[in-house]
Chains A and B, each alone.
Chain A
């Protein structure tokens, strides 16, 4: 069955610290992978996506993610977190005319 697992329900980091949000997926075919960010009460903003090629993808707002097929992972990283990054982050997998979302990780940023 297709699924996306985000093991961390919430994470707290200090402003300026580095960030890594974990994502593991289960998908029978070639996965197309996405990270979205959602502020409270708002819509989904696409941070980055991976279809093929270079396994390290760059996104908006200084985020990057690395696809590791052997680990079925697509972790999101940022070298230095800003207070404005506090939000909910969703990992998602597509490729079959349906996008399957993880449960999300809420990021808290402390001063």
Chain B
């Protein structure tokens, strides 16, 4: 069964550094998402992406965050200058292959644990 993959599984970085989290969505999906889960808290929506544009973003997704689909398979989340409070599990998700199918369900990756020291 196709699945969403994420790399790395764990990333440690120093405060102020830039990090890029990578995701490979399910190959025929059209909609892509990032979510964040701070330790011990619930999973929160960050951003959705379709047709090379951000469709929706939450208030968490400020100017330090950006997303990109640099090629036909990868979907990335960049944090420009990490802060201690960015430490969290980041989940990528995808949905599709049609708008109707996408509206039903998102498929989540295993997550990348980001630790900012």
Contacts and interface: CB of A to CB of B under 8 A. Distances in A.
From B31, B44, B103, B110, residue with most partner A Cβ within 10 Å: B103
Interface string A78-111: 0000000000001010111111111110000000
B42 A95 contact: no
B45 A98 contact: yes
B106 A94 contact: yes
A28 interface: no
Contacts of B104: 32, 51, 94-95
Nearest to A46: B108
B18 interface: no
B interface SS class: strand
Given A32-B105, A49-B105, A97-B31, A43 B111 contact: yes
Interface residues of B, number: 25
17 contacts: A32-B104, A34-B105, A42-B111, A43-B109, A43-B110, A44-B91, A44-B108, A44-B111, A49-B105, A51-B104, A92-B43, A97-B31, A97-B48, A98-B33, A98-B56, A101-B42, A101-B44
Interface of A: 32, 34, 41-44, 46, 49, 51, 90, 92, 94-104
Interface of B: 31, 33, 35, 41-45, 48, 55-56, 89, 91, 93, 95, 102-106, 108-111, 113
